[in-house]
Structure 1
């Protein structure tokens, strides 16, 4: 967690707004003289989302599986991804350490920007345009600090919180901070960021934050803060004032919906074709992690569309896909007749060496069905690298904002109101190819649902709509049903086929696997760090 107080200008992952440059190191006391230098500094904060330990692989895929809708292929705990996915994680697992350190590097860089920008002469005496640029940069740094702490809390629970950049004289042996103290800071940071970052989604030409993205992500933070989590007591708990957090989610989603800045793409399929072809669409895809490497290497890149895509045989014109991230056959079959999302979300074919689609429909081939949202034959021409792609990872879509609004209204009002129905029904109408804002009894949820029944509909709709987009496992945790869902899924799959290869329930331990272990190396270095329950 110790990082020198300096500015690191890395090869940027944000391909739309800065060319790749050599790695450089600048001392912070001679930096922050111009808006360009401040901009370079905040790009270094964004950069910590990228690459293998960020949203290029671990954060997007490995940490979102196994669940009720997907699993990692292969039942043995024989390597890093499967140990994490199948809940057999040793405390010295390298993925835990890599992500822990990368998130704290992001926090340290954000702290430095937050400290230095207000000290700049231009921040006080510059032109209005210069002040606007610096305020936006300050807002971005505050938001990103909050996001990195949010990621750490969801993965590890209580973690050390540090709100100043690290210097050589600092005491770095910090104890864990209660997660609700951290959540208070996250909400503060993101609320302040929302006031500083403009509404620019419609004309945005890059992946940087808009006001709507900040508010949508703050709504997500609030739902997690108001949800269940594993405490150091070894019990799953939620705060007694959880409805206060749901009220924040209600407010933020309402403001995003009322802004006119965001909307659903009328075609569910087109969303993911746009992702595959590097087309930014901030109306629906509100917040994307920019993944790019000029030579195809792993740095700042990702494996989106190779690990979480249908098999594509090596040598085919679209590029290889190893397809280790698999859905379950029963999830594909859960979609209702006419739901256009099914054949987008789940791919039931492979690509052979010639690039032909080969159906996988007989025998046990349905155990190899994979996410179809980032399939190789939707991507651009042949790959730069066999494994790595430049496909961005989308952290927030407008559909998620609508579903969060529905969930928050249902919880706060002890049942669904008109706003809850309107939000979820927009998502459902798009799924069936219906006009988004016209009531349609053939697809809209029935009136008169009680709180419990409506929540079940929200839970299922989030699976159908947002599957494989990095949210399912964490959703099940905040609802306190991860273990229950995994056991029910394994039982259903074994009933479907007795030798169906799904083993998560054999390894999952309640009141343990809702969190990952604190990296053992960090505990060896910092004796003030306790371990999570049962590790």
Structure 2
């Protein structure tokens, strides 16, 4: 100790980057910001279980051969029988916090760096958007949650108690408001995929609608048209990989087909029926019996589309074929869902068509996940106006969306009774935003979750003998998911949601 310099105990490596040396330049912060976006990809591969399969939009193909826990956990979410150790609800929790942790690092270290002010504001705004987005998901799924707002550097920082939902919402609003101030409008279309002022605006507007702060939501939503957003002329084009980050896109999670690891999507292979050969649908031959059969459109969902609605054929397809003794489907034809009648001896299984685009390698697709679209903003504005007694004005925005689906003026809504119009707007959001992970949150906001899903569950239990009597017990406590048991074992400060 007497003979050595104090610098000898400096543990920052000189031949590689470390946390002590990395966060210095704009390029380094851009890299760190990209890392904060990355967990969104993992989130979206789990989020459809909790936001779509938990609802009347989709169900699953029961696998009576493989009754492993991975299949049972996913089924349990749809059946309202999920336990505290369900790895798929837990994954949503963990991926959100991974994104928050990485955003916190950027936000906390950014003021210490000597970089251009315009770049600093852009990086900070994106990081705060991501933190707000993840907390908004968490608070609606889990209620009170730990509120991490700084980089976790020591063990004590990792074990926080749950903060009241009201406190979490206050932080979401603060972050989203800061993001609106710091971020720019889209520089052009197609966009880069980064969060913009428009992304933060729609996020904060949805927060305000959730809190019934309708006037504030209205003000925000009416700023979006001047930012350049528009509906695309053809609904199906919205989901084409040729139109990623288009004028209709306000925020979407970015995926990229190719050899680079972990950036590709594979939604279509999860959403097709389990088959030994997917070539009839995807154009690429592969066996998806280990990954498929999830997020299958329900009969109730298909019946929700009105006659002449172009969105039905753009959103849902039919895989026609036969099942073998092992409950594996052989696909013999790809059919349109409109007026579908199965061929003799065949069965038609619906699948989500929105994420079916040309590609060359199985499980390696280029589809982004749409999070916020301009159509969503228009319908949210209609909902907001109707809630304020402005039904006539609400119809203007509602019918913009319907004009694209049916043709201008062909199916315009005229209803101005607030309660009936509320139901119509909820229905319109269901068919316009089907399979984009909005349905669960829309039902919660409507106050009709228990009523709608209990009735749906009774129909499902009559239809499917594999559903136990305990399924679809849609009680109030099931409107929140359980705090992961593994987290509670690590952190004694965490309490559990009532009922679990």
Alignment of 1:293-442 (within 5 A): 294-295=258-259, 299-309=262-272, 314=277, 316=279, 317-320=283-286, 322-350=292-320, 356-358=333-335, 361-362=341-342, 368-375=349-356, 379-383=357-361, 385=362, 387-413=363-389, 415-418=390-393, 420-434=394-408, 440=409, 442=410
* 1:73–1:355 distance in 2 versus 1, CA, 3 Å: closer
Q: For the Cα contact (< 8 Å) 1:308–1:371, is it kept in 2?
A: yes
Structure 1 residues 445-491: Cα deviation after superposition (integer angstroms, max 9, x where no partner): 115x2110110110110111111111112211222222221222244
- Higher-helix-fraction structure: 2
* 1:98–1:460 distance in 2 versus 1, CA, 3 Å: closer
Distance in structure 2 (CA, Å) of the matches to 1:84 and 1:37: 40
After TM superposition, give the deviation of residue 311 of structure 1 in Å: 6.7
Distance in structure 2 (CA, Å) of the matches to 1:422 and 1:173: 49
Matched position secondary structure for 2:269: coil
Correspondence for 2:204 among 218, 226, 239:
218
Alignment of 1:56-71 (within 5 A): 57-71=45-59
Q: For the Cα contact (< 8 Å) 1:288–1:395, is it kept in 2?
A: yes
| TM-score (normalised: structure 1) | 0.79
Distance in structure 2 (CA, Å) of the matches to 1:280 and 1:169: 41
Q: For the Cα contact (< 8 Å) 1:88–1:507, is it kept in 2?
A: yes
After TM superposition, give the deviation of residue 509 of structure 1 in Å: 3.4
Structure 1 residues 148-204: Cα deviation after superposition (integer angstroms, max 9, x where no partner): 111111221100102111112644321110111111110110111011111115334
Aligned residue in 1 for 2:222:
254
Aligned residue in 1 for 2:11:
none
* 1:84–1:215 distance in 2 versus 1, CA, 3 Å: same
Structure of higher CA gyration radius: 2
Distance in structure 2 (CA, Å) of the matches to 1:146 and 1:466: 22
Q: For the Cα contact (< 8 Å) 1:486–1:504, is it kept in 2?
A: no
* 1:409–1:354 distance in 2 versus 1, CA, 3 Å: closer
Structure 2 unaligned regions, length at least 5: 1-14, 322-328
Distance in structure 2 (CA, Å) of the matches to 1:361 and 1:502: 27
Residue range with higher mean Cα deviation, 347-356 or 299-308: 347-356
Structure 1 unaligned regions, length at least 5: 1-23, 123-129, 227-241, 435-439
* 1:428–1:28 distance in 2 versus 1, CA, 3 Å: same
Aligned residue in 2 for 1:483:
450
| TM-score (normalised: structure 2) | 0.85
CA-atom RMSD in angstroms:
2.9
Q: For the Cα contact (< 8 Å) 1:490–1:503, is it kept in 2?
A: no
Distance in structure 1 (CA, Å) of the matches to 2:350 and 2:341: 9
Distance in structure 2 (CA, Å) of the matches to 1:33 and 1:293: 32
Distance in structure 1 (CA, Å) of the matches to 2:58 and 2:316: 11
Distance in structure 1 (CA, Å) of the matches to 2:216 and 2:272: 36
Q: For the Cα contact (< 8 Å) 1:213–1:286, is it kept in 2?
A: yes
Aligned residue in 2 for 1:284:
248
Q: For the Cα contact (< 8 Å) 1:269–1:341, is it kept in 2?
A: yes
* 1:167–1:326 distance in 2 versus 1, CA, 3 Å: same
Matched position secondary structure for 1:288: strand
After TM superposition, give the deviation of residue 117 of structure 1 in Å: 1.4
Q: For the Cα contact (< 8 Å) 2:320–2:334, is it kept in 1?
A: yes
After TM superposition, give the deviation of residue 338 of structure 1 in Å: 1.4
* 1:502–1:455 distance in 2 versus 1, CA, 3 Å: farther
* 1:67–1:106 distance in 2 versus 1, CA, 3 Å: same
Alignment of 1:33-44 (within 5 A): 33-44=24-35
Matched position secondary structure for 2:181: helix
Matched position secondary structure for 1:249: helix
* 1:265–1:473 distance in 2 versus 1, CA, 3 Å: same
| Mapped pair 1:149 → 2:135 | yes
Residue range with higher mean Cα deviation, 519-528 or 506-515: 506-515
* 1:288–1:365 distance in 2 versus 1, CA, 3 Å: farther
Correspondence for 1:27 among 5, 18, 28:
18
* 1:106–1:184 distance in 2 versus 1, CA, 3 Å: same
| Mapped pair 1:133 → 2:97 | no
After TM superposition, give the deviation of residue 260 of structure 1 in Å: 4.4
Aligned residue in 1 for 2:412:
444
After TM superposition, give the deviation of residue 75 of structure 1 in Å: 8.0
Q: For the Cα contact (< 8 Å) 2:488–2:495, is it kept in 1?
A: yes
Aligned residue in 2 for 1:513:
478
Aligned residue in 2 for 1:10:
none
| Mapped pair 1:458 → 2:444 | no
| Mapped pair 1:522 → 2:499 | no
* 1:192–1:143 distance in 2 versus 1, CA, 3 Å: same
Q: For the Cα contact (< 8 Å) 1:194–1:215, is it kept in 2?
A: yes
Aligned residue in 2 for 1:470:
437
Q: For the Cα contact (< 8 Å) 2:385–2:391, is it kept in 1?
A: yes
Aligned residues: 463
After TM superposition, give the deviation of residue 310 of structure 1 in Å: 6.2
Distance in structure 2 (CA, Å) of the matches to 1:174 and 1:486: 34
